[in-house]
Chain A
Amino acid sequence: MKPLLYLELRQITNSVKAALRTPKRLIPAVLIALWIAFVFAQDTLTLLGIARPVMPSGRHYLQQAIPIDAIWAVVFIVLTITAAGVIYTALSDGLLIFAPSHVDFLFPTPVNRRHVLAFKLFKDYTKYALFSGLVFGMVGSPLYHVLGVPVYPDLLLSWLGSICLIVFVMNLTHTLNVVATAGPGRLRIARVLVQAAIFAAVLIVAATAVVRFAWTSDAIESVISSTRSSLVRAALAPITWATDVILAPIRGIVNERVELLWLAILAVGSTFLLLGRDEDIYEPALGVSARAARVRDAIRSGDVIGARIRAVGWRGRGSFNTPPVPPFGRGASALLWKSIVVKLRTSGARLLVVMCVPVIASVIIGAAVKLPEVRRVVPVAMPYVAWILALLGQQELRGELRLANLTKAMPISPFRFILVQTFHEWLPVVAVTMISAVSLFVFVADTDPAVLWLSAVTSIVFGFTCVAVISIPVLLYPDSRDKVQDLIAHILSFFLAGIALVPTAVVWLIAPLVDIDISVASLAVVLVNVPIAVAGVLVSGALFARFDPTSD
């Protein structure tokens, strides 16, 4: 254990020293630390009774707007699907990921394998605990201040519950992975057992829902109540306990200590079970560690496309017979075809999930949100979603710039290149907006058609403008490995998106107040955005013309 402790302590100390010595790293680190300290100071003030919530009865309003059973069912289903997905990875690569340095320099040494594993688990679980603590702290603070949800002890209980569930599921996955991959015969048996368990769980939930549906004739209500049935609660007991404990702050019940105790027993017991196994832990981790390192390196270098391509290689897709979109165009449009094909091949499944989210969200909002005034104005979230998607597109341009030494050598003008890139990043915004609009119209009964139409038009137009203008900071500060450049690029992106946002929001908000026709309002949104988008493309094109692909 001593060499492992030495290794970790020296690495942590050197990382801190390196951060303190480099202003580029120090400034963002201090800003983030101050922000975290501010949030947790607020939480502590609530513990001491100094701070008071804005809406002391906010939790009551929340429970009125969305029935707690609906929230419980959604969290339960999400946790179940996530846990099943994680456990299923045990049958292929698993999640026991070591650093390449460990493979090269630690694995050949006589350090006890169990010590290596115990140390790895301790490190991983500490990271999960800190990360989830950060999330709970960040979410908990606004929850308290807006809704009056007590941070202590409710949120603490919730946080501990989530850690126990993570530890239990990860231990189960690791154990299954090392046991199953110790021989081909074992893998076959493990596959059959895991698939049977997942199938049984789905079957129990589905069968219970069907029985409930026969009584109530309400599909959503049937799914919600099926998740609370005794059979499902018993079959998926750890998920049930975790959902109870995690939702304790919102539900306002703090009697989940028994559930938390059970989860803690599962977490500790599964850790001992894993550490007690005699199977080899090194070999199952080799492939996944090497692939994870390649993806991590690509992400660190800001190459999101490279990271996705490596992830495709990870899944074992080495060859494709036909492109998902037939070849089209010449020059710049051929570049567009290439970008679409690469995106569909590397992120097809992810895009499909993104497209499904608005439909699922609309169904849930339609069924679970009880206040009609809330349902009516739900479409106003669409431009916000478009803005988020546009910001995500920024990473695509960064990835594309990694190949600028190729694209700049092509006979394509810089403006056309930027236009193609903008169009390519805008396509998901359009698709999500259209799917959201149709889903809200179909599934959310009280949606105001005028608000829906104006929101959809605004999302599409504003989305294009955002994509166009936020190309500028990417081209000005292309090196995402440099944290300061990255931070400045993001701040500039917010500012530039604001140039389009302010006039758009003015038109968008004034239109209903002065009761102008919706088509006139839509035209006004377009007229406000088009000049900004054109300026964005022209400036970005000029910057790309001067962009030096070797200067990164």
Chain B
Amino acid sequence: MSDMTRQLSRDWSLPVLTVRNLTKYYKTTLAVDNVSLSVGDGEIVGLLGPNGAGKTTVLRSITGIIQPTAGEIEVDGMLLSKQERDVKRRLAFVPEVPNPYEMLTVMEHVRFIAMAYDTLSTFDAKCTELLRRFELYDKRNDLVLSLSKGMRQKLAIVCAFVHNARTILFDEPLIGIDPKGARELKDMVLEAKADGCSVLISTHMLDTAEHLCDRIIILSHGRMVAEGTLHELQERASMGSGASLEDAFLTLTEEHGAGETAPIP
């Protein structure tokens, strides 16, 4: 990777985001079981797993949309349960299938997000730059109602970058985006990383994860089944260095495929 030097200069052992023993029950269904993970300063971590593995639940817990049944979430040394608003100021979240406010214009939507994060002072320049990069500038005065699915996804990404978050969480960010938009997003993620921003990406696109992420976490049935660099995952799956992330992923998740949901305590 082109920014390898910058990566090495950062100390990933100092985590910006730490999740400790996260457990989440939906009524009597165990969605996430004692998951612990961390994302270091300027690190890109991929969160992989089959459907229903608990990836979205982990991301929603970190953003405070849902509350963990047990466990702690810490961002920049602050606990989400104690300093929720301060923690949220440092985070940005791109949902899987975003439902933006249809009766706002594109510009108003981004402005609303900037107001919610209290970052209006840098809004104008930042918003214009982001809208141009994601080819939404010409649509800035159009209602969100008129945007296509891919454009709505781009708008959600613009909203995530507009308030200079320390950690950005992506839930399947590349679904529905055209190749140019996908390339732009990947470039922006790498630029954000270079600026010291930490990124946690949940994705099914294993080739993207392989090329973009510094570290991979694999979830299956709500449990963390593996964590490490591609090389470490290959070793863990007893595969050679020629094996792809896809091979390692399938092997590791199949090993834990028989895991059963634990009953409610």
Contact = CB atoms under 8 A, between A and B. Distances in A.
A3 interface: yes
Contacts of A18: 103, 143
Nearest to B108: A10
Contacts of B113: 105, 109
Contact of B99 (A101, A109, A282): A101
A106 B116 contact: yes
Interface in A244-270: none
Contacts of B143: 14, 18
B217 to A, nearest CB: 21
Interface string A326-346: 000000000000000000000
B220 interface: no
Contact of A286 (B66, B88, B116, B117): B66
Interface string B84-96: 1110110111010
Contact of A7 (B25, B67, B101, B118): B101
Interface string A272-313: 000000001011001000000100000000000000000000
A105 B65 contact: no
A107 interface: yes
Contact of A11 (B104, B111, B116, B156): B104
Contacts of B108: 10, 14
Nearest to B26: A287
B66 A283 contact: yes
B8 interface: no
Q: A interface, by DSSP: helix, strand, loop or mixed?
A: helix
A7 B159 CA distance: 15
A112 B84 CA distance: 9
A184 B89 CA distance: 31
B101 A11 contact: yes
27 contacts: A3-B112, A3-B115, A3-B116, A6-B111, A10-B112, A11-B104, A14-B103, A14-B105, A99-B99, A101-B99, A101-B100, A101-B102, A103-B65, A105-B98, A105-B109, A106-B116, A108-B65, A108-B91, A109-B117, A110-B86, A110-B88, A112-B85, A184-B25, A184-B28, A280-B67, A282-B64, A293-B99
B55 to A, nearest CB: 16
B63 interface: yes
Contact of A109 (B95, B102, B116): B116
Given A6-B112, A10-B112, A11-B101, A110 B65 contact: no
Contacts of B65: 103, 107-108, 282-283, 286
Interface in B32-74: 63-67
A7 B112 contact: yes
Interface residues of A, number: 28
B99 A110 contact: no
Interface in B1-38: 25, 27-28
B125 interface: no
A103 B99 contact: yes
A515 interface: no
Contact of A108 (B88, B101, B105): B88
A8 to B, nearest CB: 10
Nearest to B67: A280
Contact of A111 (B105, B111, B116): B116
Query: Residue among A7, A11, A18, A108 with the most chain B CB within 10 A?
Result: A108
Interface of A: 2-3, 6-7, 10-11, 14-15, 18, 99-101, 103-112, 184, 280, 282-283, 286, 293
Nearest to A12: B103
A114 B113 CA distance: 18
B115 to A, nearest CB: 4
B64 A107 contact: yes
Contacts of A10: 103-104, 108, 112
B264 interface: yes
A185 to B, nearest CB: 11
A15 B143 CA distance: 10
Interface in B100-150: 100-105, 108-109, 111-113, 115-118, 143
Contacts of B25: 184
A15 B116 contact: no
A181 B166 CA distance: 32
A110 B115 CA distance: 10
Given A11-B103, A11-B104, A184-B27, 20 more contacts: A7-B104, A10-B104, A10-B112, A15-B103, A99-B99, A99-B101, A101-B102, A105-B101, A108-B65, A109-B88, A109-B113, A109-B117, A110-B84, A184-B28, A184-B264, A280-B67, A282-B65, A283-B66, A283-B67, A286-B66
A10 B117 CA distance: 18
Interface string B145-188: 00000000000100100000000000000000000000000000
Nearest to A106: B116
Contacts of A108: 63-65, 88, 91-93
Contact of B98 (A2, A104, A111, A283): A104
Contacts of B28: 184
Contact of A110 (B100, B103, B116): B116
A471 B98 CA distance: 38
